[in-house]
Amino acid sequence: MSLDDDLVEALKGDWRTAELDEQDRAMLEYVEKLTKNPSSMWRDDTDALRAIGFDDTAVLQITLIASFFNYINRVADALGVGREEK
């Protein structure tokens, strides 16, 4: 959630071009990898988050929130939620 409309638009377009601090950028890299290729996740992925200041609770929260959204999106896709009938 942000009151910065420019940031919101940049994130909608491509988060890599948005002005983000080191932690936000690392978190989004982690979440993107978790979303697109979860079987490639290794300990070094969580270690990278810890190295820039996320504690174990934050790493767990990032992982759970991203995983929940991935799950809900897959359920919605499977059931056709939000799509018009063909």
Q: What does pTM read for this prediction?
A: 0.83
Mean predicted confidence (pLDDT) in 27-35: 97
Coarse DSSP helix, strand, coil percentages of the chain, rounded to the nearest 5 percent: 75, 0, 25
Residue of 64, 18, 70 whose CA lies nearest to 2: 18
Paired tokens of 33: 């990898």
| Inter-CA distances, 36 with 1, 11, 19, Å | 23, 17, 23
Q: Average pLDDT, whole number, for the chain?
A: 92
* Per-residue pLDDT at 83: 76
Q: Which CATH architecture has domain 21-79?
A: Up-down Bundle (1.20)
Over residues 44-70, the pLDDT tens digits come to 999 999 999 999 999 999 999 999 999
